[in-house]
Amino acid sequence: MAPLKATDVASAAYANAASHVREGLLRGVKFKPGTAELDALGELAAECLASDLENGPAPVSLQLMLRHTDQILAAVDNSFPGYMRSRQLGLALRVPPA
């Protein structure tokens, strides 16, 4: 068996963080989201994280956002206090009409 590379460890850490975030976001909605709602949930999460990161010393970039994936749930809670805990995050989604 080949030894793990740093990129393998980083990929595993990102996968764990992403999985935790996905589960947390899905717990924040009362309904089973379809494709449009999942897209909107991802957009909302990205907007909240970007908003939180704007106050930091580095300019917001995709790389910076990926490095801070583990902060998404806190960022969403900062933007929409109590919505996830009360499972009302679906109210914040902007879903285009079908």
Neighbours of 25 (CB within 10 A): 20
- Beta-carbon contacts of residue 74 (< 8 Å; ≥ 6 apart): 52
Q: What is the pLDDT of residue 6?
A: 56
Question: pLDDT tens for residues 1-46?
Answer: 655 565 665 688 889 999 999 999 999 999 999 999 999 999 999 9
Nearest to 79 by CA among 36, 57, 50: 50
Q: What is the pLDDT of residue 96?
A: 76
Q: What is the pLDDT of residue 7?
A: 65
Question: pLDDT tens for residues 38-80?
Answer: 999 999 999 999 999 998 899 999 999 999 999 999 999 999 9
Neighbours of 57 (CB within 10 A): 5
